[in-house]
A and B are shown apart, each in its own frame.
Chain A
Amino acid sequence: MSLLLDINNIETCFRTEDRVLKILDGVTIQVKKGEIVGLVGESGSGKSVTMMSSIQLLSNSGKVTSGRVELDENGKNILEYKKNSDDMRKIRGGRIGMIFQEPMTSLNPVMPIGRQIQETIMEHIGLNKEEAKARAIEMMKLVNIPDAEERYDNYAQQFSGGMRQRIMIAMVLAAEPDVLIADEATTALDVTTQAQLLEMIKELSVKTGVAVVLVTHNLGIVARYADRIYVMYSGNVVETADTLTIFKDPQHPYTRGLLNAIPRLTDPEDRVLTPIDGLPPTPLARPTYCPFYERCNYCVPDCAEKPKPQLAEIGQGHFVACHLGRAEKDEKAKEIALKEGRSRPEKHISDEICLNVENVKKSFDIYKGLMQRKVGSFNAIEDISFNVRRGETLGIVGESGCGKTTLARCILRMYKPDGGKIELFGKDIASLGRSEMKPFRSQMSMVFQDPFSSLNPRMTAGDIVGQPLRIQKMTSSRAEYEKRVDELFRTVGMDPNQKDRYPHEFSGGQRQRLGIARALALKPNLLILDEPISALDVSIQAQVINLLEELQSSMGLAYLFIAHDLAVVKHISDRILVMYLGRVMEIADSSELYENPLHPYTKALLSSVPLVDPEKEIGREYIPMKGEVPSVMNRPKGCPFSDRCDHATEKCRSTIPELKDAGNGHMVSCFLYYER
């Protein structure tokens, strides 16, 4: 098939105040008609910059300094067009459309969305107003927006995130482009919405013949949806092949490293994640030799002598930029396998109940108007009951807005629950006051999601880690305090000599380690981890997961692991609790839950998660979920899932099913399993 978009060896530089940073170091990407190409890499690898460069969307400080971008193999380098020339604008939007991560900022908030689509059509296709409006409605129907005619005059903020992204797609596709670039377009969305959207993009690609470039850091997404994959690292493409080959026979050490670092739903229970050590080089300090050399465990000293490896074809359409041949790498792989042979740290789960939560409720009031009058309230969480044993990890999964964080804050007593019991080693803390809570503070602590906002930027790392010790006056002398802080640094694998540095001098992974060290300062028994790794890159995620597992094993900690990434939760948890709209849907052992999900919601949720294994994806059933997650404010009267469930009966719609044991400690709240 003929080439549609040919990005050939482009280099892009960004000018900062005093130097020029080379962000892209010769990137070649080819897109054929009608195919879906995946572009994966960690943050800062240059994925987005590549696509932006190709359509000249870079900010003023960025410039493509060499290379060619061609459309249709017609020999015309489109980089030669002026940035804002008519020719370039016709290509941008007309031939190549792009959707971004943040649908809210991409849509004009003061113009009805229908009008925005209409304008695009008038601009690029040249239809008159009425025709364009008809076509806009057609496009909205194409991307499955219900009641397209009525919603034509709605504004962006009247739509949910998923719907806004659909509108963006409709707007881009309305101009009938040949290439659609989706730059992390589904990253900000929930798994089920993400699956809905990507399924739709795939369908559209078949239906309209548009080629798609999926720019993402999520290997699962490309495994499930892409035909061909480019792997980027530090401004270079290091490997490219069709999807099956990349996952079955990865040849670049970086690709192998990535695949070894991510947890999968299909993993056996004793799988150990192998993180890639170190950090990617900054564009400023990128070496002249292989940029992956420092982190590579296949490398030979020779690699540092030779110039940067170029992409070379080693199989049908399989290009790799590595000096080592297949035989050398296989040899080395055996060696590495022998050397590592690490097993998962042992778990010590005792029968002692560490945390017992019974029927916890929390509602929030809604205030409105100038006088902030109370106009109503909604229950963020209802009837939550579960327990965690000492040394155990309980995973909590659910989509955004399901009440995970509210629950965590209730347990930590940031909020006062409206009812129910929260027992910490048998003592109910649900209604204690601030000062009564103080002695219990040392027994549990929290690790936050965002490693950038969870550390006070004005305090040194040592002060941050030691803060709980100072607050609770746990150490009697200065020397003892310093000793304890040093010890905490070492516990999380950091050098105590870095105590005097400030948070901004650390990388994301290191900051998260500091967050963990701070949480461990008071020797707690229970650690609540609220999405502790979702802000980190794949290779760093594995480091933190392994650290958490080691700490649990050596200190006998109980974890409450809150996350939306089901593969990660599956990997780290012993038991998993599934939440939906503030209620518990299902609790089961993690392997049991994945092998034998009972609740229709759990089933749909699991089928939405891409597997990072294209072979297993073939023929895998995808259970599409109807509609969208309703807001907790208009939760259905009966079972919260009843209006999206295929099995819902009259009973489901009128009464709330209780959480009941369906055998083997597998608890589920669904009428389907009551009578059996």
Chain B
Amino acid sequence: MNNTSVSNTYDKKLARRERVRKFLRTMFGRKVVIAAAVMLFIFIFIAVFASVLTPYDPNITSPYQAFEAPSSAHWLGCDEFGRDVLTRLFYGARVSLIVGVLAVIIACVIGVFLGLCAAYFGGVVDVIIMRCSEALMSIPRIMVSIALIVIIGSSITDLAIILAIPTIPGYIRMIRGQALSLKNSDYVKAAEMQGANSLYVMLTQILPNAISPIIVMMTQQVGTTILMESGLSYVGIGIKIPIASWGTMISNGKNYLITQPMLAIIPGICVALLVICLNVLGDGVRDAMDPRLRGEA
């Protein structure tokens, strides 16, 4: 008896390790996903160790270096205030990643929860949640953000929250649509019949089957959010000058697009690369989460 239970837990551990292995193997089954993961790792590494990687301070201006061309001292040259572009890029990664990822996570958690509630409970709950989200959607995103900045403030976390709020309705609508069709499936009925409470049914039965499009949506939203943040910075109400973010760098660089195109293009490439990485990774995670694609056998 004792023996079997021991071998059982051993089997369990082995099985779990096996499952993790399969998960990773499916996720990284395509080479492009590996490339994306490496890329993302580099971005994160840069963001974390920005202060070690570069000898310069991102915010101290030195007017006599303005628009200096790339050299061995300043690999990507200097901007209009003579600040090292590469340094600002490194520190900007920090802000952009935090704002982008945090905003998406906040929006996703709130949106998914509300969407599940709307679909599962229906009736009055559904009406209230959906009408509110429609009201929010009917106001332009940028206006909502501006209004909120005035109320909340514009630190990095404030900004993440502010950028998250206008994207919540998207998550609500997407998960609600998925959940509505899943809610009447037999396995959900079965769980209800076994006496499961609503939260259990929503989280274990409906959510795992409805999550795939959400993951894809999240990865796309990171990019949009970073661009939104740059938009706000452009209007001058986003990240406070002189803190560097890719958004502020693009919007500053725009002024010199003809004479110094690299000032806007380089942070632009960074945003694009990050968004592509996240999209590809998102696809990988989605595939790996589906047992049918994982090829469990």
- List the interface of chain A (C-beta within 8 A of B): 412, 414, 437-438, 441-442, 445-446, 448-450, 453-459, 464, 467-468, 471-472, 479, 482, 500-502, 504-505, 518, 521-522
Closest residue of B by beta carbon distance from A412: B193
Contact B19 A454 (CB under 8 A): no
Residue from A456, A457, A479 with most neighbouring chain B CB atoms (10 Å): A456
CB contact list, B4-55 vs A, under 8 A = 5, 8, 15, 19
> Among the listed stretches B135-143, B165-173, B182-190, which one makes contact with chain A, having 4 or more residues with CB under 8 Å of it?
B182-190
A-B contact pairs, 19 of them (CB 8 A): A448-B189, A453-B187, A454-B186, A454-B187, A456-B205, A456-B208, A457-B209, A458-B208, A458-B291, A464-B187, A467-B194, A471-B200, A482-B5, A482-B8, A500-B19, A501-B296, A502-B292, A502-B296, A504-B292
Given known contacts A482-B8, A504-B291, A441 and B209 CB-to-CB distance under 8 angstroms: no
Contact B194 A445 (CB under 8 A): yes
Given known contacts A482-B8, A501-B296, A504-B291, A455 and B187 CB-to-CB distance under 8 angstroms: yes
Chain B interface size, as a band, is 20 to 34
B57 within 8 Å of A (CB atoms):
no
Residue from B186, B209, B290, B297 with most neighbouring chain A CB atoms (10 Å): B186
Closest residue of B by beta carbon distance from A439: B195
Contact B193 A445 (CB under 8 A): yes
Contact B193 A414 (CB under 8 A): yes
For the complex, give the distance between the alpha carbons of A295 and B290 in Å.
Answer: 33
B191 within 8 Å of A (CB atoms):
yes
CB contact list, B271-297 vs A, under 8 A = 289-292, 296-297
A438 contacts which chain B residues (CB < 8 A)?
Answer: 195
Given known contacts A501-B296, A505-B296, A505-B297, A414 and B291 CB-to-CB distance under 8 angstroms: no
**Interchain nearest-CB distance for B8 vs A (Å):** 6
A442 contacts which chain B residues (CB < 8 A)?
Answer: 195
A449 contacts which chain B residues (CB < 8 A)?
Answer: 186
Given known contacts A453-B185, A457-B209, A471-B196, A448 and B190 CB-to-CB distance under 8 angstroms: yes
- List the interface of chain B (C-beta within 8 A of A): 5, 8, 15, 19, 185-187, 189-196, 200, 204-205, 208-209, 289-292, 296-297
Closest residue of B by beta carbon distance from A497: B11
**Interchain nearest-CB distance for A123 vs B (Å):** 39
Contact A414 B186 (CB under 8 A): no
**Interchain nearest-CB distance for B271 vs A (Å):** 34
Closest residue of B by beta carbon distance from A530: B186
B200 contacts which chain A residues (CB < 8 A)?
Answer: 471
A468 contacts which chain B residues (CB < 8 A)?
Answer: 194-195
A450 contacts which chain B residues (CB < 8 A)?
Answer: 186
B208 contacts which chain A residues (CB < 8 A)?
Answer: 456, 458-459
**Interchain nearest-CB distance for A200 vs B (Å):** 35
For the complex, give the distance between the alpha carbons of A618 and B4 in Å.
Answer: 61
Contact B8 A500 (CB under 8 A): no
Closest residue of A by beta carbon distance from B205: A456
**Interchain nearest-CB distance for B144 vs A (Å):** 28
For the complex, give the distance between the alpha carbons of A459 and B204 in Å.
Answer: 9
Given known contacts A453-B187, A504-B291, A441 and B193 CB-to-CB distance under 8 angstroms: yes
Q: List 13 other contacts, CB 8 Å, given A456-B208, A459-B208, A471-B191.
A: A445-B194, A446-B193, A453-B187, A454-B185, A454-B187, A454-B190, A457-B292, A458-B208, A458-B290, A479-B8, A482-B5, A500-B19, A504-B292
**Interchain nearest-CB distance for A533 vs B (Å):** 15
Contact B190 A414 (CB under 8 A): no
For the complex, give the distance between the alpha carbons of A468 and B186 in Å.
Answer: 15
For the complex, give the distance between the alpha carbons of A441 and B296 in Å.
Answer: 33
B291 contacts which chain A residues (CB < 8 A)?
Answer: 457-458, 502, 504
Contact of B189 among A414, A472, A522 (CB under 8 A): A414
For the complex, give the distance between the alpha carbons of A458 and B207 in Å.
Answer: 10
**Interchain nearest-CB distance for A432 vs B (Å):** 12
